């Protein structure tokens, strides 16, 4: 009998009480919808910023390779100069 009572909970409520709860749920859903819209806009902005950052840092691997080559060549030149001048 308890199962039947639980299943019929709210049947004897007044319609204005149910309408009030529906209004509360509707307001909650609208607020959550607005929040999701704002989060969507924020994610879109962050995506654009991330794309800008990726474009800005794209040259770094090439710069690293350049510095590595130049520093290596620089070491060889210094070594040759030290040998030539007898500084070693």
In a structure prediction context, what are the per-residue pLDDT tens digits for the chain, which is 88 residues long?
445 555 666 656 677 788 889 999 999 999 999 999 999 999 999 999 999 999 999 988 888 888 887 777 878 888 888 887 877 6
Distance separating alpha carbons of residues 19 and 63, to the nearest angstrom = 66
Distance separating alpha carbons of residues 37 and 30, to the nearest angstrom = 11
Q: Domain-by-domain residue ranges, the chain?
A: 14-57, 58-88
């Amino acid at each position: 009998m308890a199962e039947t009572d639980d299943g019929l909970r709210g049947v004897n409520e007044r319609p204005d009480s149910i309408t009030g709860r529906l209004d509360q749920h509707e307001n909650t859903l609208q607020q959550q919808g607005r929040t999701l819209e704002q989060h969507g806009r924020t994610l879109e902005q962050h995506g654009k910023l991330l794309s800008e950052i990726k474009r800005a840092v794209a040259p770094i691997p090439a710069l690293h390779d350049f510095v590595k080559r130049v520093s290596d060549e620089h070491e060889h030149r210094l070594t040759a100069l030290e040998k030539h001048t007898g500084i070693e």
